[in-house]
Chain A
């Protein structure tokens, strides 16, 4: 019973060709997050949505955008992927009801940039 679903699991794109990664959740959580994770490193938060409110991390490049059309879905758009954007992209969710929360991660999308 998947709770946080990411599609596709593997994505290959060309240098400079826009790509969209998708995430959906069955938990009805208010908050959805996008992380970038490079090999042997901890996940790095790119941005998150609290309901419809978008919160960008200060060091997230403009090349990365996000959309959340409804509670269940959230998208990560990479406008012009560079070789350095090859990474695992993780979506996570949390309830957003208090100051003590648990984040649940999806299985990730591995992005390869050629």
Chain B
């Protein structure tokens, strides 16, 4: 089945630093999604990418859909303490019923004030 490799697994950074995380796959995806999950809450959608090569920003967040359609990265600039959480990438392949997502294993981000 499809698998996503997400790295790094965890990051410990100082407030103000930039952060980069990425996901790679052996399969092609039509959609890449980036979610943030805080303890005790559901994943919240940060950025959705629909086209190969697409670069999209959402405030301090920037994500790109790789040209090969097998990878994506998420950058966070000038991190702040409230950026703490687990970041998941998710890819969607070609489905006829619903849109089954393949999730990465998550990146746990800790920001020290």
Contact = CB atoms under 8 A, between A and B. Distances in A.
A70 interface: no
B43 to A, nearest CB: 5
A87 interface: no
A18 interface: no
Contacts of A110: 40
Contacts of B95: 99
B98 A102 contact: no
A101 B40 contact: no
B42 A100 contact: no
Interface in B39-58: 40-45, 48, 50
A45 interface: yes
Nearest to A32: B98
A42 B98 contact: no
Chain B contact residues (Cβ within 8 angstroms of A): what range? Answer: 20 to 34
A106 B42 CA distance: 6
Contacts of B33: 102-103
A55 B45 contact: no
Contacts of B48: 102
A107 B41 contact: yes
A55 to B, nearest CB: 6
Contacts of A7: none
B68 interface: no
Most buried by B among A55, A92, A103, A104: A103
A6 B40 CA distance: 13
A45 B97 contact: no
Interface of A: 4, 6, 31, 33, 40-43, 45, 48, 50, 53, 55, 88, 90, 92, 94, 96, 99-108, 110
30 contacts: A31-B98, A31-B99, A40-B108, A41-B106, A42-B106, A43-B43, A43-B103, A45-B101, A48-B97, A48-B98, A48-B100, A88-B40, A90-B43, A94-B98, A94-B99, A99-B30, A99-B95, A100-B31, A100-B99, A101-B92, A102-B33, A102-B45, A103-B33, A103-B45, A103-B90, A105-B35, A105-B45, A107-B41, A107-B42, A108-B42
